[in-house]
Amino acid sequence: MSTASNALINGLGGSAGFGENVLNANDDNSTEFIDVTSVFESGLNFFGTT
């Protein structure tokens, strides 16, 4: 049994506290490039791909 918390993180700005960036709705659930290097300086390992 997992004891990890699933609480949302807030205080990131915006009207609800969850940040100011928004991914617009679309028909195929795709997005443009999102630069996350400020958070993941060494890259993000996503199932073995960085």
pLDDT at 5 (0 to 100): 67
What are the distances in angstroms from CA 13 to CA 3, 19, 41, 48? 28, 5, 22, 32
Q: Which residues pair with 49 in a beta bridge?
A: 46
Q: For 31, how many CA atoms within 13 A lie in the half-sphere containing its CB?
A: 7
Cα separations (Å) of 30 from 1, 15, 24? Answer: 33, 25, 10
| Assessment of whether the complete model's pTM goes beyond 0.95 | no
Q: Is the pLDDT of residue 47 over 90?
A: yes
Query: What is the model's pLDDT at position 36?
Result: 79
In whole angstroms, give the CA distance from residue 29 to residue 47. Answer: 20
Assigned token pair, 50: 């960085």
Per-residue model confidence as pLDDT tens digits over 1-46: 556 666 777 788 888 788 877 777 788 878 788 787 888 888 888 8
